[in-house]
Amino acid sequence: MSTRSPGTPLLSVITPLFNCLELTKAMLESLRVSIPWRIAHEIILVDDGSTDGTRDWLSTLGDPFRVLLNDRNLGFGGATNQGAAIARGRTLALLNNDLVLTPGWLPPMLGALDSLGSRAGLVGNVQVNPDTLRVDHAGIYFNRKCKPEHDRREPSLAALVLRPVRRVAAVTGACVLVRADAWRRFGGFDETYFNGCEDVDLCLRMLAAGLVNAVALRSRVLHRVSASPGRKLRDEENTRRLFLRWRGLIAVLASRRWARRHYRRFFDDPRDLMDPMEAWRVAFYLARLRHAPPVNALAATNEVIDRELARWRDLLSD
Is residue 228 assigned to a domain? no
Is residue 31 assigned to a domain? yes
Residues 44 and 155 in one domain: yes
Is residue 140 assigned to a domain? yes
Residue type, 202: L
pTM score, two decimals?
Answer: 0.90
Q: How far apart are CA 183 and CA 170, in angstroms?
A: 15
Is residue 229 assigned to a domain? no
Residues 136 and 280 in one domain: no
Is residue 5 assigned to a domain? no
Residues 173 and 269 in one domain: no
Residue type, 4: R
- Which tens digit of pLDDT belongs to each residue from 145-157? 999 999 999 999 9
Q: How far apart are CA 77 and CA 173, in angstroms?
A: 10
Q: How far apart are CA 222 and CA 39, in angstroms?
A: 22
| pLDDT recorded at residue 234 | 84
Residue-number span of the structural domain to which 41 is assigned? 11-223
Residues 152 and 126 in one domain: yes
Mean pLDDT of the chain: 90
What is the CA angle 189-195-200, rounded to 5? Answer: 50
Specify the higher pLDDT residue, 212 or 144: 212
| pLDDT recorded at residue 5 | 43
| pLDDT recorded at residue 276 | 65
Provide mean pLDDT across the span 266-286: 64
Is residue 4 assigned to a domain? no
Say whether pLDDT at 6 is over 60: no
Residues 173 and 116 in one domain: yes
Residues 47 and 112 in one domain: yes
- Which tens digit of pLDDT belongs to each residue from 194-231? 999 999 999 999 999 999 999 999 999 999 976 555 55
In order of 12, 76, 180, 184, the CA distances from 81 in angstroms are 13, 9, 12, 10
Task: Kindly report the CATH number assigned to the domain that includes residue 126.
Answer: 3.90.550.10
Burial class (CB in 10 A: 0-12, 13-18, 19+), 161: exposed
Provide mean pLDDT across the span 226-254: 84
Provide mean pLDDT across the span 263-279: 60
Q: Where are the beta strands (DSSP E) in 39-139?
A: 41-47, 65-69, 91-95, 99-101, 120-128, 135-137
Please say whether the beta carbons of 80 and 173 come within 8 A. yes
Residues 57 and 175 in one domain: yes
Provide mean pLDDT across the span 83-97: 97
Provide mean pLDDT across the span 171-186: 98
Say whether pLDDT at 271 is over 80: no
Residues 29 and 100 in one domain: yes
| pLDDT recorded at residue 293 | 85
Band (273; pLDDT cuts 50, 70, 90): low
Residues 139 and 240 in one domain: no
In order of 129, 173, 232, the CA distances from 225 in angstroms are 7, 12, 11
Residues 194 and 277 in one domain: no
| pLDDT recorded at residue 2 | 40
92-101, 172-181, 239-248, 309-318: least confidently modelled range: 309-318
Domain count across the chain: 2
Residues 208 and 292 in one domain: no
Q: Is 158 helix (H, G, I), strand (E, B) or coil?
A: helix
Burial call 162-199: b when 16+ CB within 10 Å, e when fewer: eebbbebbbbbbbbbbbbbebbeebebbbbebbbbbbb
Percent of the chain with pLDDT over 70: 89
